[in-house]
């Protein structure tokens, strides 16, 4: 392999159209926002050329130093001092060492990022394995679901669990928080749900047990919103909501889609008696062509670059256009519409969708 081919493989082998555009626009904007917001540094309200030329570099430098470990921060300061001293004195060795120290720190930071990415990939694989690998046999129903995390891992979950008497339930929920922390609590929550579902006689007793377990085993600030559907017969379902978004019900006979909002507190917020008192279980009977949709707030709160939310009106429009479509087709159309609406703006929250249609 000649030198030109080696340089090509080294620098542009994996280059894709649009990489520079993303680097200079979205990536740069997101990086600046992350450094400033995560460090608690607030920019002045007015942003003239002086702010961009003087204040922004200063704020970014302070934010960058706060991100470094103390030893690396000291080493970076020493390298910068050596480099500047070498420039003033015309000392080549000082300039060289002052340049090599930040390069050394860059290698360390890249290694840390690679190790973290590897661990996140493992966590993502574990989370994907917790999604239903196959749907239960539910005679008379067609069921479809989608789960799209906002980052590598997230706190949303979808579970189909058997209950006593040969019944099945499906729960979609959202653990408070984001990222790895929420994902770890979500894994623990699923273990509790699987255990309790095998012994609970009713959906209320199941949710009450889950609420008590969260309050006793999770930190006080952690809570869970959820929507649960219990298959109670060939044409009947029981709907329970715990601080989650409403269910959406389509009735083929009237050709109407309407929200269904049972009362119920989020899991983990209230003690047993007040929690059970807050629950409302609504029974619905479905006829051929009727369906129930469960969504997470990642749908309605999806934002575009103008900070507009997707909202319930856009959701209603999309659902009305596709209400007669197959479950898979309707969910795919909803995700495509969310992608179109969001554009280049990064996703801020996980998306979970479950659609149950009566055949």
Question: What's the per-residue H, E or C state across 92-119?
Answer: HHHHHHHHHHHHHHHHHHHHHHHHHHHH
Residue 40: the pLDDT is: 61
Residue 154: the pLDDT is: 66
pLDDT at 35 over 80: no
Domain ranges in the chain are 49-130, 141-358
Provide the 8-state DSSP code for 267: B
pLDDT digits (tens, 9 = 90+) for 44-71: 455 677 777 877 788 888 888 888 888 9
Selected residue with higher pLDDT from 18 and 161? 161
Residue 220: the pLDDT is: 86
Residue 201: the pLDDT is: 86
What mean pLDDT comes out for the span 200-210? 91
CA nearest to 209, candidates 200, 220, 219, 218: 200
* Cβ–Cβ under 8 Å, residues 349 and 297: yes
Find the DSSP H helices in the chain. Answer: 3-11, 19-22, 28-38, 49-50, 56-67, 70-89, 92-130, 179-197, 203-217, 272-278, 297-300, 311-322, 327-342
- C-alpha 274/C-alpha 297 separation (Å) is 25
pLDDT digits (tens, 9 = 90+) for 94-103: 999 999 998 9
Residue 39: the pLDDT is: 58
Confidence of residue 280 (pLDDT cuts 50, 70, 90): very high
Residue 152: the pLDDT is: 56
pLDDT at 312 over 70: yes
pLDDT at 204 over 70: yes
CA nearest to 79, candidates 111, 113, 57, 106: 106
Cα–Cα distances in angstroms (integers) from residue 304 to residues 20, 90, 252, in the given order? 21, 51, 33
User: Measured in whole angstroms, how far is the alpha carbon of residue 211 from the centre of its chain?
Assistant: 22
pLDDT at 78 over 80: yes
- C-alpha 355/C-alpha 248 separation (Å) is 9
Residues paired with residue 293 on neighbouring β-strands, in sequence order = 248, 355
Residue 315: the pLDDT is: 95
What mean pLDDT comes out for the span 207-226? 92
pLDDT digits (tens, 9 = 90+) for 117-131: 776 666 666 666 666
239-253 residues labelled b (16+ CB within 10 A) or e (exposed): bbbbbbbbbbbbbbe
Confidence of residue 340 (pLDDT cuts 50, 70, 90): very high
Cα–Cα distances in angstroms (integers) from residue 197 to residues 69, 221, 281, 345, in the given order? 45, 25, 17, 39
pLDDT at 208 over 90: yes
pLDDT at 1 over 70: no
Residue 61: the pLDDT is: 83
As a whole number, the mean pLDDT across the chain is 85
pLDDT at 153 over 90: no
Residue 212: the pLDDT is: 94
pLDDT at 319 over 60: yes
Selected residue with higher pLDDT from 44 and 116? 116
Fold entry, domain 141-358: Phosphatase 2c; domain 1 (3.60.40)
Long-range contacts of 125-129 (CB under 8 A, 24+ apart): 126/187, 127/153, 127/154, 127/183, 127/186, 127/187
- C-alpha 75/C-alpha 69 separation (Å) is 10
Reading the block at residue 248, the tokens are 């959406």
The percentage of residues in the chain with a pLDDT greater than 70, rounded to a whole number, is 89
What mean pLDDT comes out for the span 171-195? 84
Angle at 284 between CA 279 and CA 289, to 5 degrees: 140
């Amino acid at each position: 392999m000649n030198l030109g081919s080696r340089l090509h493989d080294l620098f542009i082998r994996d280059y894709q159209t649009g990489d520079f555009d993303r680097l200079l626009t979205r990536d740069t904007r997101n990086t600046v926002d992350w450094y400033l917001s995560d460090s608690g540094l607030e920019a002045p309200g007015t942003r003239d050329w002086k702010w961009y030329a003087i204040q922004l570099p200063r704020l970014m430098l302070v934010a960058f130093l706060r991100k470094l470990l103390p030893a690396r921060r000291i080493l970076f300061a020493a390298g910068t001092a050596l480099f500047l001293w070498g420039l003033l004195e015309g000392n080549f060795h000082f300039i060289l060492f002052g340049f090599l120290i930040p390069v050394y720190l860059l290698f360390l930071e890249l290694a840390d990022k690679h190790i973290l990415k590897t661990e996140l990939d493992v966590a993502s694989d574990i989370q994907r394995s917790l999604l239903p690998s196959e749907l239960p046999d539910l005679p008379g129903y067609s069921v479809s679901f989608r789960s799209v995390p906002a980052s590598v891992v997230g706190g949303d979950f979808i579970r189909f669990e058997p209950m006593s008497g040969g019944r099945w339930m499906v729960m979609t929920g959202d653990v408070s928080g984001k990222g790895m922390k929420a994902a770890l609590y979500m894994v623990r929550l699923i273990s509790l749900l699987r255990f309790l579902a095998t012994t609970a006689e009713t959906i209320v007793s199941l949710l009450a047990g889950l609420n008590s377990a969260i309050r006793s085993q999770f930190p006080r600030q952690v809570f869970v919103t959820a929507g649960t559907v219990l298959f109670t017969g060939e044409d009947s379902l029981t709907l329970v909501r715990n601080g989650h978004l409403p269910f959406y019900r389509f009735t083929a006979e009237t050709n109407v889609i309407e929200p269904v909002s049972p009362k119920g507190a989020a899991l983990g917020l209230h003690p047993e008696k007040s929690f059970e008192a807050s629950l409302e279980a609504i029974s619905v009977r479905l006829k051929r062509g009727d369906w129930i949709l469960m969504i997470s707030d990642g749908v309605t709160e999806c934002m575009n670059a103008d900070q507009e939310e997707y909202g319930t009106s856009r959701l209603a429009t999309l659902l009305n256009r596709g209400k007669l479509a197959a479950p898979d087709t309707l969910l795919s159309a909803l995700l495509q519409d969310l992608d179109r609406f969001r554009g280049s703006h990064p996703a801020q929250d996980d998306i979970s969708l479950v659609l149950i249609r009566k055949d």
